Chains A and B, each alone.
Chain A
């Protein structure tokens, strides 16, 4: 029995045992931020993000720097990404809503039904996507266990267990789907440049609208050859549509 305990403890504290030492760039960025050199701090945080070593706090710190540089689109994008990675961190959550309040962009891309669903399954925003997968998977395992037990033993008490685990599974699944489809929809992008013109078609010369940075848009179609130079067909506002350049809007869930 003893070895099992040891393995369990090892798994539990493996994160602490193999914790990384901070990247020197991270320390440098934090120092730049403290001395209000937000441009340098932001550059350093972005480098870490591009290196692929960024977790919630690097994104959160980058969002703070972007906010002070008045780059609201990037601030909103990074604070949302930070929240995706550490949704129960009170500071990151507060910062995201603070930035959201201070942006002048309209973020009403969601249909009313979407906001209703988001509010109904609000608890799903307190779990990361990965945690939601694991919770849903666990509920599913429990449900299957009850099904198997009922098939073998045919006891009425197992029917109740089956019923409750089914409800639990549905709840978890709804949370997971809310997370995937609405909260962190891969099609959702934030405008990251100031005053981005939106064209009725990508061959038009006259813009039909201008979007402020931080506006949330939903990309429906990508058109173009390279990743860096594409046209995006977007839905925004409530039912508005148009085209813009791919460098002007960045995806939230990536």
Chain B
């Protein structure tokens, strides 16, 4: 009881003294560390002492930081009998600008009164990992191709002299044509083991983008140091001409905390685990100047910009009127192969032309997207004869020279013989011949039958239920057969067991008879059957003497035997002697006999 009392006093001290302590409300704010680089994350802690009722802190303007709330904590303390409370609010600050920042204090409000903390002060220096010279990344300077190619080497050399980890983002070409493939490369160099990393890629607005190398890791040696490099490559295709920009790329990564400010930071005390701290590494934005396609464009320009080749083939040069020939055009190369389109010649009046959906096979390689696009055209002749299929051609833009290059296939001669021109049904009708479109080269036509559109099916539950019916039937037949067999083998035993039941049933049947003589005969027969069944005898038509002999062998009381004999004698006289007993006597015989048989059966 005493313990509960003390606990109660303790709790009341906390709560009832709280209003008293409101008078001593104080707000403290601290940024840790007070000097940091653009890569670091800072922690702002606002501690409100003396009251739990104050509003949430109102932070001063922090335009140079990205502020992320990271939680609150509460604590109570009793010092010399005085109860105090503290509430701490934590924020993560991610610097976005360098410089020295004098910010105001943090405010909280309690009962309409404002309490302000000490002013905040922090110095953010340039990222130590960014080299002083960034020739290819100045926003106001569009680099040449040569700059872009040598950029990575130069930055690597500069950076390697400086830091154990950094990121960089670069482009293979900053002055491409519209639709020309360029590669965006992100690289993360590190000398140390890092923890979790989260990459935020820029939004490639005004570009069609496709990842070609998801992530590749390898080692590289720079200034005698062996770095691990994680690389990601994305193929970009500019969608419009003009000045475009790719925003900055950032990587939030946990790196080992090198600050040896504590004796216990030693790996020995941390069981071999390193103390990690997050770093925000940023690669600057990239500016490009996209060139438009040169004018005039040839009419067969296929939207392709890059290095491409064309190969054509014809499935057969001799066909009949009922047949078709397939012309295959295969465009292969490196670049925006997906955009390739086929311009059909207008000089094929003697043929119906059915173009298939092009087959595309694109591979992702370190040097970008490459592959082939195969166009197939079915040529259905409309008349007999020898026809010249002119060479298909298309033009591509060579980005190196800035000129359009024509790609031309081979011409073909097609011999069409005999048969009657067949029209191709766009829809497969029942019973119609298979059209030319149905082949391994295209889809079979659609169906216009509606009759089979609706499906009528039995429910799954009903089908499962049907499985049980024959099983039950088999079980029933099995049990029935077993029982039948058993009865056949144990007939006498069965008769003995069922003797009393059979007797009672016969007596009930006899009671329903209206003719007196018939009823007595039935009673007599019931007794005979009982004795026969009970004794296991085959003999029928037992006499009274034979039945009495049966009783003699059993230990039945004498008076019962006498009564039994008297009743049976009465029945015999009624049946065979013409004696008509009194009605009261007759009414007593049947129940009495039943009772006697029951008593005898028990004795047996």
Contact of A55 among B357, B454, B478 (CB under 8 A): B454
Q: Give bound CA distance, A228 to B183, whole Å.
A: 37
Shortest distance between the CB of B454 and any CB in chain A (Å) = 5
Q: Tell which of A91-99, A105-113, A216-224, A236-244 binds the partner.
A: A91-99
Q: Give bound CA distance, A134 to B466, whole Å.
A: 10
Q: Are B470 and A140 in contact (CB under 8 A)?
A: yes
A199 interfacial contact with B, CB 8 Å: no
Shortest distance between the CB of A75 and any CB in chain B (Å) = 9
Given contacts A34-B426, A95-B443, A143-B470, 20 further A-B contacts (CB under 8 A): A15-B451, A26-B448, A30-B446, A30-B448, A48-B453, A53-B453, A56-B455, A57-B453, A60-B446, A85-B455, A86-B452, A90-B444, A94-B444, A98-B442, A104-B360, A104-B361, A137-B466, A141-B470, A148-B474, A152-B481
A-B CB contacts (within 8 Å), total count: 110
A151 interfacial contact with B, CB 8 Å: yes
Which residues of B in the span 15-67 have a Cβ within 8 Å of any Cβ on A?
none
A64 interfacial contact with B, CB 8 Å: yes
Shortest distance between the CB of B340 and any CB in chain A (Å) = 14
Shortest distance between the CB of A110 and any CB in chain B (Å) = 24
Contact of A205 among B198, B360, B426, B445 (CB under 8 A): B198
Q: Give bound CA distance, A20 to B456, whole Å.
A: 12
**Majority SS at the chain B contact face:** mixed
Q: Give bound CA distance, A26 to B427, whole Å.
A: 13
Q: Give bound CA distance, A92 to B444, whole Å.
A: 8
A67 interfacial contact with B, CB 8 Å: yes
Q: Are A152 and B477 in contact (CB under 8 A)?
A: yes
Specify which chain B residues have a CB less than 8 angstroms from the CB of A141 in the assembled complex. 470
User: Which positions in A face B, CB cutoff 8 Å?
Assistant: 15-16, 19-23, 26-27, 30, 33-34, 48, 53-58, 60-61, 64, 67-68, 70, 85-86, 90-92, 94-95, 98-99, 102, 104, 130, 133-134, 137, 140-141, 143-145, 147-148, 151-152, 205-206, 210
Known contacts A53-B453, A55-B454, A137-B467; A61 and B478 CB within 8 A of each other:
no
Known contacts A68-B357, A102-B359, A130-B458; A61 and B447 CB within 8 A of each other:
yes
Shortest distance between the CB of B573 and any CB in chain A (Å) = 50
Q: Give bound CA distance, A55 to B474, whole Å.
A: 39
Shortest distance between the CB of A139 and any CB in chain B (Å) = 11
Contact of B427 among A16, A30, A98, A143 (CB under 8 A): A30
B344 interfacial contact with A, CB 8 Å: no
Specify which chain A residues have a CB less than 8 angstroms from the CB of B452 in the assembled complex. 55-57, 86
Specify which chain A residues have a CB less than 8 angstroms from the CB of B470 in the assembled complex. 140-141, 143-145
Contact of A206 among B199, B357, B442 (CB under 8 A): B199
21 CB < 8 A contacts A-B: A15-B456, A21-B450, A48-B453, A53-B454, A57-B452, A58-B453, A60-B446, A61-B447, A67-B443, A70-B357, A91-B445, A92-B444, A94-B438, A104-B361, A137-B466, A144-B471, A145-B470, A147-B474, A152-B477, A205-B198, A206-B199
Shortest distance between the CB of B72 and any CB in chain A (Å) = 23
Shortest distance between the CB of B442 and any CB in chain A (Å) = 8
